[in-house]
Amino acid sequence: MKLTKLVVSLAALGLSHCVLASADFSFSKQSSSDAVGNTPSHVIFIDDVDNLDGAASIINRASNGELTKLIELNDFTGEAGSTLHLQMIAGVESVLVVGSKHDGSLTKTDLQNLGGVIAASLSSTKKDVDTTVHIDNLNTEIDAPSAFVAQGYHLRHYSFDKYKSVKDDGQSKVNFVNADADSASALYNNDLKYVAQGVHLARDFATEPGKSLYPEVFADSIKATFKGVDNIKVRVLDVDDMEKLNMGAHLGVGNGSINDPNLIIVEYMAGEKDDAPIVLAGKGITFDTGGISLKNNDGMWAMKADLSGAAAVAGAMHAIANRGDKVNVVGLMGMAENMPSQDAIRPGDVLETMKGTTIEIISTDAEGRLVLSDTVYYAQQEYSPKLLLNIATLTGSAARALSDEYAALVTRNFDFSSEIMQVGERSGEHVWPLPLHPNHFDQIKSPIADIKNSGAGNPGASIGAAVIGTFVDEDLPWVHLDIAGVDWLSSEIDVAPKGSQGWGVRFMDQLVRDYADKDLSR
């Protein structure tokens, strides 16, 4: 019996806990040359404790040098990201001092990180109401720096409290004060805000339990999210459609679950009519038990986040489409639940793919590559993309190799890999290359089918990439991202609390900014 049916509409409607309830930000020019203003809470930056400037010097003067004294007493050095929280100084209820000391000028990422630090600090001191953030003395060459500080704040201001009886996120009103107010407001409201919302959307999907988020619910939520957005078309291929397309690998993965698999397609065609699109394809396993090759229970709960690739694709599409870029981008989300049952695929089974070739199942736990093999093939047949990216929580091997700092990047070409690493640098989400060697393809030869879905073991991340790569045209610029290590944070970072960080939204958003207008034909 399908008890979970009961929660379908509820979950589809109530999924996003805070995507639209972002903090209430304003940008104003009020100069801080005379007074700090009249909100109960202020944030000021200090990069040089011996030479206070901007709002810091005003507060210092107004407090007759108490600020300098407190900096000394607390051994505050101004190190970037360090904080000092002061109360009742110069008649102001709350002053959060944030260090911004840096050896050069602050980058976009540095600015976002400072915004994240502010959000974390203010919510921990429950002073996240009516705050003025003084940007004026930040040392940066970035245009409209306030917008990036605001975006960092927005990124960090996240809490998944939908199942808590006591909710922990309050609405914040934050005013960013700087001469850049007009341009920062435009940049944040027409662009950066949507990226942060996309990240929150991805976190919501990754954090939602498997009980209430399975392929059909995911599809309903995607339809709701993109309803009314210009130039967007959402289509969902169900089991019948996928059978007609002969997607036996994807269907095989979903077969053990009472919740049917599907393939969700979000087309955003706002560019030139005959410009080939960029296709972003995400692994969307709503829960990965391992199937008949059942996983050990240790940490299995985290496999509710095995749809992080698909979630990130959804978030990136949200950012790109709402910003209104004149580009063609297609998001594909290959959804299934990997369950053991009498209908589940077995180790040793042979599945037929959409390409017409066969895959022998060695482990039913190597399911992501099965789904994506059909998804990337479909992407090429249907869209002839100019660039194809797939993103997946694919292997423990990638997680062990690179942990929290880098997602694993696999391409067929060294130069292309270094180009794509730069996308990571610009986006604030970093990638590091792993190899794809002809031997990796040899290791997935099967005695009874065309290939098998895993090799003898090492190197697991490359073998996983080789399986998917078998279905990708060798001439197509192809980016494979294995995010198994970065999707779930065991401890907080500046722009994200611990838990899902929505990894990939900012990366793919940046990729589209950088590559949508590029001619990649060779």
Decide: is 207 part of the binding site for ligand BES (CB under 6 A): no
Instruction: Report the site for ligand BES in 399-418 (rule: CB under 6 A).
Output: 399
Among 113, 395, 411, 500, binds ligand BES (CB under 6 A): 395
Decide: is 368 part of the binding site for ligand BES (CB under 6 A): yes
Contact of residue 396 among Mn ion, Zn ion, ligand BES, none (CB under 5-8 Å per partner type):
ligand BES
* Strand, helix or coil for residue 150: helix
Give the dihedral sign, CA 221/224/230/235.
positive
C-alpha distance from residue 107 to each of 29, 140, 147, 392, 426 (Å):
22, 7, 13, 29, 10
Number of residues interacting with Mn ion: please give it, by CB under 5 A.
3
Q: Which residue is closest to Zn ion by CB?
A: 288
Give the dihedral sign, CA 254/16/25/227.
positive
CA 118 to chain centre: 21
> Of 363, 357, 366, 387, nearest to 471 (Cα)?
357
> Of 400, 357, 372, 399, nearest to 479 (Cα)?
372
The stretch near Mn ion (CB under 5 A) out of 11-19, 349-357, 359-367, 458-466 is 359-367
Residue 192 or 371 having the CB closest to ligand BES: 371
CB of 501 to ligand BES, least distance (A): 13
Residue 334 or 460 having the CB closest to ligand BES: 460
Compute the half-sphere exposure of residue 469: CA atoms within 13 Å on the CB side of its CA: 26
> Of 437, 433, 436, nearest to 408 (Cα)?
433
Decide: is 482 part of the binding site for Mn ion (CB under 5 A): no
Measure the N-to-C terminal CA separation of the chain; round to a whole number of Å.
54
Residues with a catalytic annotation lie at 295, 369
CB of 387 to Zn ion, least distance (A): 25
Contact 253, 338 (CB under 8 A): yes
CB of 464 to ligand BES, least distance (A): 7
CB of 357 to Zn ion, least distance (A): 22
Residue 47 or 365 having the CB closest to ligand BES: 365
* Strand, helix or coil for residue 172: coil
The stretch near Zn ion (CB under 5 A) out of 52-60, 303-311, 412-420, 458-466 is 303-311
Decide: is 47 part of the binding site for Zn ion (CB under 5 A): no
Strands 278-288 and 92-99: unpaired
Among 351, 484, 496, 505, binds ligand BES (CB under 6 A): 484
The residue behind tokens 């838990």 is 499
Among 288, 374, 429, 487, binds Mn ion (CB under 5 A): 288
Decide: is 429 part of the binding site for Mn ion (CB under 5 A): no
Torsion angles phi and psi, residue 412, rounded to 5 = -95, 5
Structure tokens at 463: 């073998």
Among 454, 462, 500, 510, binds ligand BES (CB under 6 A): 454
Residue 60 or 462 having the CB closest to ligand BES: 462
* Strand, helix or coil for residue 351: strand
Residue 291 or 504 having the CB closest to Mn ion: 291
Among 260, 288, 325, 509, binds ligand BES (CB under 6 A): 288
Decide: is 451 part of the binding site for ligand BES (CB under 6 A): no
Structure tokens at 370: 């099965």
Decide: is 337 part of the binding site for Zn ion (CB under 5 A): no
Is 141 exposed, middle or buried, given 0-12, 13-18 or 19+ CB atoms closer than 10 A? exposed
Which uninterrupted H or E stretch holds 11? helix 8-14
> For residue 13, what are the contacts with CB-CB under 8 A and spacing of at least 6?
224
* Strand, helix or coil for residue 140: strand
Q: What is the contact mask toward Zn ion in residues 267 to 286, using x (rule: CB under 5 A)?
A: ------------------x-
Decide: is 288 part of the binding site for Zn ion (CB under 5 A): yes
Decide: is 365 part of the binding site for Mn ion (CB under 5 A): yes
Distance CA 475, CA 144 (A): 40
Among 145, 198, 261, 368, binds Zn ion (CB under 5 A): 368
- Residues making contact with Mn ion (CB under 5 A): 288, 365, 367
- Residues making contact with ligand BES (CB under 6 A): 288, 306, 363, 365-368, 393-397, 399, 454, 460, 484
